[in-house]
Amino acid sequence: MARMARTKSKTGIYHIMLRGIDKRNIFLDDEDRMKFLEKLLKAREVGRFKLYGYCLMDNHVHMLIEEQEEIGKSIKRITVGYVQWHNTKHERTGHLFQNRYNSEAVETEGYLINVLRYIHQNPVKAKMVRNAKDYPWSSYHQYLLEYNQQSSFIDTEIVMSYYAGQEEFENYMNTETKEEFLEYKQTKKYTDTSLKKIIEKDIRIEDLVHLPIEKRNKRIKDIYRNTEASIRQLARVLELGKGVIEKAVKSKV
C-alpha cells in the first residue's frame, strides 16, 4: 500500500501531529514533558523554524510550525533526541513514536488561528480540564505571558496581530468549535472474531505465515494501518509472536 505524498505548504507552515506507536503514552510524567519541550527548542535553534503553538497530550503531540529547512529534518531531531532520553529513563528499548508523523499544510493566517484554537482545546475535548487555560502543557500560557509583557519561547506575532488584547485572545481560544484538524482517533475496538473476518477478506491467516518475510511484514504492516488494531490483538488473531508483529510494524517495507 503506497504512502500518500505530503501536501506541500506554500507558506511553509504545517500543523504536525506525533503519535505514540501502538497508541502508547509518550509522556509518563511532567519531567518527560519538560524534556520534550527542551528537545523541541533545541531543534528550533538548529533548524530555525518558527513555533506558533503546541500541545503535549499523553499519547500524542500537536505542533504548529513554519519551516525554514525541510520540516522532516526538524521533526527527526526532536523525536530522536527525546526517544533516546525517554528510553534510558524508563528502561525500555525500540521505537516510541509512530514512524510517519501526520501533517497538514496551513495556507492562510485565518486557518492558522483556527488550528491554534483547536490545539489549545485538545485537553478540554479530552475532558482533562474544563478550560484551556487550566492545562499547563500547551502554548496557551506562552501567549498569556506575551500579553502581560513577559517573554515567551514561541513566535506570537501573527496571532497577536489579530487579537491586540488578552481578553479578546482568550475569548476566541475558548469559543467552542467542532472543527477537526488531524483529529486523533483512539484505537478501534474489535472482537478477535470480527478482526479475523476483516483480515481474511484479503488473505487467509494461515497463509500469512508461509509468505517470504518481507512480503509478510508488508502484509502485517498494512493490516495494522488499515484496522488500527493493537499489536497485542494482532499477535493473538494472526497467531504470531508479539515481537514478530512489532518488527513488521516498524519495518520500512
Query: What pLDDT digit, counting tens, does each position of 142-185 carry?
Result: 999 999 999 999 999 999 999 989 999 999 999 887 777 765 44
Q: How many domains does the chain have?
A: 2
- Quote the cell numbers at residue 43: 531543534
- For residue 24, the model assigns a pLDDT of 85
- Pairwise CA distance, residues 103 & 13, whole Å: 10
Please state the rounded mean pLDDT for residues 118-130.
93
Q: Which of 80, 65, 158 shows the shortest CA–CA distance to 113? A: 158
Q: Please determine, for residue 252, whether its predicted confidence score (pLDDT) is greater than 70.
A: no
Last residue of a domain, one of 173, 201, 218: 173
Q: Are 103 and 71 within 8 A, CB to CB?
A: yes
The continuous run of DSSP H or E covering 106 comes out as: strand 102-106
- Pairwise CA distance, residues 47 & 44, whole Å: 5
DSSP category for residue 243: H
Query: Would the CA dihedral through 244, 245, 250, 253 be positive or negative?
Result: positive
| 216 assigned to some structural domain | yes
CB atoms within 10 A of CB 61: 28
Domain shared by 167 and 207, yes or no: no
Domain shared by 103 and 143, yes or no: yes
pTM over 0.85: no
Q: Which residue has the cell 492545562?
A: 135
Last residue of a domain, one of 138, 173, 208: 173
Q: Which of 134, 135, 131, 165 shows the shortest CA–CA distance to 148? A: 165
Amino acid sitting at position 219: R
Angle between helices 242-250 and 213-227 in degrees, nearest 10 = 90
Domain shared by 163 and 44, yes or no: yes
DSSP category for residue 105: E
Domain shared by 205 and 114, yes or no: no
Note down the domain range covering 91.
13-173
Domain shared by 67 and 145, yes or no: yes
- Quote the cell numbers at residue 159: 496571532
CA 11 to chain centre: 21
- For residue 1, the model assigns a pLDDT of 37
| 180 assigned to some structural domain | no
Contacts of 73 (CB under 8 A, 6+ apart): 47
Domain shared by 132 and 221, yes or no: no
How confident is residue 253, by pLDDT bands cut at 50, 70 and 90? Answer: low
Rounded (10°) CA dihedral 179, 21, 63, 47: -150
